[in-house]
Amino acid sequence: MLTHTKIFLLFLVTLFSFVPFPTPAPSSGPEYTANGQLKLPENYREWVYLSTGFDMSYSPAMQGMDHHMFDNVFVNPESYKYFVENGTWPDKTMLVLEVRGAEGKGSINQKGNYQGTERMGLEVHVKDEARFPGKWAFFGFDDNKTAEMVPVKAQCYSCHSANGAVDTTFVQFYPTMLPIAKSKGTLSSSYQKEAAGSK
């Protein structure tokens, strides 16, 4: 027999099965403060992983480093999917370079290196065509949650635009992206020349 309580419970169950559960749609595009600083994309560790560089050295200042370093590269998922289909980055792409120190001996590890828990740097490369004259801009975060844009005169821009294999990004070092760019024919002409010359 249905008691009042049972009927009430049944009513509640029915009610809640029709209430849409609010799922916040996390946008992974860039967000800025009122004064034009980039907000730290806090969830970048849930993005798509592209690669890890180990002790890569491409600027004189980094030579003669007395400790080993890793850098991990992540991209927002929407832009990753777009790249897989098109071989290029869409507007609102964000690439994150996270720097970590290398640890040697620890726990059972005797040889080789693993990554330390302390983040030593975080740099973001953002494509925002309407906002930046050069379409892309760099931001370097220290411990703050917001960062100012790196001035356009900085070497970041010249090295990336001269040497990045796809649209100022270093796709030649991202092992799953390079074959896609190759097959879609989106590699920069300077990179293609370099690659042809080094064979």
Q: Answer yes or no whether residue 167 interacts with ligand HEC by CB under 6 A.
A: no
Q: Are the C-beta atoms of 160 and 170 separated by less than 8 Å?
A: yes
Provide the minimum distance between the beta carbon of 184 and ligand HEC in the complex, in angstroms, as a whole number.
Answer: 17
Q: Are the C-beta atoms of 124 and 94 separated by less than 8 Å?
A: yes
Cα angle 45, 49, 52 (rounded to 5 degrees) comes to 105
What single-letter amino acid sits at 77? P
- In angstroms, the CA 22 to CA 13 distance is 17
Q: Answer yes or no whether residue 53 interacts with ligand HEC by CB under 6 A.
A: yes
Contact stretch for ligand HEC (CB under 6 A) within 7-15, 22-30, 76-84, 154-162 = 154-162
**In 3D, which of 120, 118, 123, 117 has the Cα closest to residue 136?**
123
| 170, 177, 178, 191: which one binds ligand HEC (CB under 6 A) | 170
Provide the minimum distance between the beta carbon of 25 and ligand HEC in the complex, in angstroms, as a whole number.
Answer: 25
User: What residues make contact with ligand HEC under the rule CB under 6 A?
Assistant: 51, 53, 56, 58-59, 71, 73, 95, 97, 123-125, 138, 140, 150, 154-156, 159-160, 169-170, 173
